[in-house]
Structure 1
Amino acid sequence: MTTKPEQAWPPLPTSQKLRFATPRTILALILREMASTHGRSPGGYIWMVMEPLLGIALLSAIFSLGFRSPRIGINFPIFFATGMMPFFLFMDLSGKVAQSITYSRSLLAYPRVTFVDAILARAILSVLTQVLISCIVLTGICLAFETRTVFLIDRAFIAYAMAAALGLGVGLLNCFMFTMFPLYQRAWNVLTRPLVLISGVIFLYESLPEWVQHMLWYNPLMHVTGELRGAFYLQYEAKYVNPAYVFGVALSIGLIGLVFLRRYHRDMLER
């Protein structure tokens, strides 16, 4: 008696085989980033939370010596935290994305790993990490002090979305510029040092002279910090904030960066 051979399933189409390749690659790159960046020392992740806390504490101590209360509200730590945390998100995200190809250069030799995977992995991890740190810091301050603030989740979401979009857009362009023109990276590091002073981290937009307001309005980060402060202070409307402007700037810069990366990413790997 003969038996029929087992029915063999037809091979999956190539498109189905590769459908989950990119998510698996991105997850592997995220785990590699977590292990190599902050997992080597026990205090790696603790320091990421302590760094903004120490900065907020220092600013609060300095300004409390000369002022009885901040420009808005009654508590210095929450005032500076609402300006500093989205600013840190922008700086960390733009810096991590800008170094994506350099950081994963050895892995990009594999055909399954693309420069888009490397960028997305670092961007996703940076956003998740900074949002988690912001939640810890802001919640801790509200629990530790009498801040007399509220929390509007819709405005906070818009603020962090603007910071993330801007950080990703700037990071994409700088990813090309840093790799192709090393001198540009040094110039960028010097030019961006005053950003913390002109982005509304330690002051309010409305407290500045009118001619200064006209100039700083074009700084997208000013809109980001203003929107997050509006999420905590009901009396602060931040009428100057224009999310469409910030997203437009982020999209324009990001598209320019993507065009250059798509055209020159192979040349960048050889440098």
Structure 2
Amino acid sequence: MIPTSIPSLKPRRFRTSRTVIALILREMATTYGRSPGGYFWAIAEPVAMIAVLSIAFSLMLRSPSLGTNFQIFYATAFLPFTLYAGIAQKVSASITFSRALLAYPAVTFVDAIIARFLLELLTKVLVFYIVIVGIELIYDVRPILDFPSILMSLGMAAALGLGIGTLNCVLTSLFTVWQSVWRVINRPLFLVSGVFFIYEDLPSGLRSFLWYNPLLHVTGEMRRGFFATYDATYISHTFVMSVALVSGALGLLLLRRYHRLIINER
């Protein structure tokens, strides 16, 4: 007689979702629960940076390259950039952060990546909403919003952060020097990703070179969503998503091959 069910062989339903939620709660408690101020700093840091940029450049320029409000001009580029940077940084440290838990069969490296990605995405999107609404209320700015462009920019920034972060998760774990190398490579990105300028203000030779920076497309797409007169014809969604998909796929392939070696390292 064949038993109708064998409890020991029955799969745990929704195991991945439970694991991801548990990892998210652990991340929240560790990252924000133990620091004075908690989530306050997630909002205060971008607000302070936008304020500094606005004050500094308003002393030198009569108006920004788009519109008349410096705060909304810098916020529409700085916030999607920090979305990318925050996700890339969090995802790249996924295995290191959850190394002890990854020893259990119920927890996989994919769970660790998804948990950190989702928490950082939700946090940064909430910060984006709070800061933008705050600027609109304080300065009585009433932009004509293009929601598809805004959502596309956030989506590209998130995908890029996930892809780059997943690849760096492997490289920083296998090669200790890569973390320093990436820091050197990544630092100038803030200066050349359209936070301080728009693509059209650049000399033609420099534009041809910087076009290959996917973050320039992300910030341009966000500004197209807030400034109705800004066309931004240079933007290529295909290019940005291709960079994100290729880097993410390569990272997952390498993780599948080397994750045991990385987890067992001490």
Which moved further from structure 2: 229-238 or 34-43? Answer: 34-43
User: 1:68, CA displacement in angstroms?
Assistant: 1.1
User: 1:152, CA displacement in angstroms?
Assistant: 1.4
Aligned to 1:20: 14
3-state SS, counterpart of residue 44 of structure 1: coil
Aligned to 1:75: 69
Equivalent residue in structure 2 for 1:227, among 210, 213, 221: 221
3-state SS, counterpart of residue 59 of structure 2: helix
Equivalent residue in structure 2 for 1:165, among 152, 159, 167: 159
The code of the aligned residue for 1:80 comes to: Y
Aligned to 1:116: 110
Matched ranges for 1:1-271 at <5 A: 10-11=5-6, 14=9, 17-271=11-265
User: 1:28, CA displacement in angstroms?
Assistant: 0.2
Count of residue pairs brought into register by the alignment: 263
3-state SS, counterpart of residue 84 of structure 2: helix
Larger Rg: 1
3-state SS, counterpart of residue 241 of structure 1: coil
Q: Distance in 2 between matches of 1:153 and 1:269?
A: 42
Q: Distance in 2 between matches of 1:205 and 1:12?
A: 61
Deviations 1:82-135 (A, max 9, x none): 000000000000000000000000000111011111111000101011000000
Deviations 1:40-82 (A, max 9, x none): 1341200110000000000001001011110110000000000
TM-score, scaled to structure 1: 0.94
The code of the aligned residue for 1:30 comes to: I
Structure 1: tracts of 5 or more residues without a match: 1-7
Q: Distance in 2 between matches of 1:227 and 1:31?
A: 32
3-state SS, counterpart of residue 66 of structure 1: coil
The code of the aligned residue for 2:71 comes to: P
3-state SS, counterpart of residue 192 of structure 1: helix
Q: Percent identity?
A: 51
Aligned structure 1 segments of 4 or more residues deviating by more than 3 angstroms: 8-15
Q: Distance in 2 between matches of 1:248 and 1:161?
A: 13
Q: Distance in 2 between matches of 1:134 and 1:257?
A: 28
3-state SS, counterpart of residue 91 of structure 2: helix
Q: Distance in 2 between matches of 1:41 and 1:51?
A: 14
Structure 2: tracts of 5 or more residues without a match: none
The code of the aligned residue for 2:226 comes to: F
User: 1:14, CA displacement in angstroms?
Assistant: 4.2
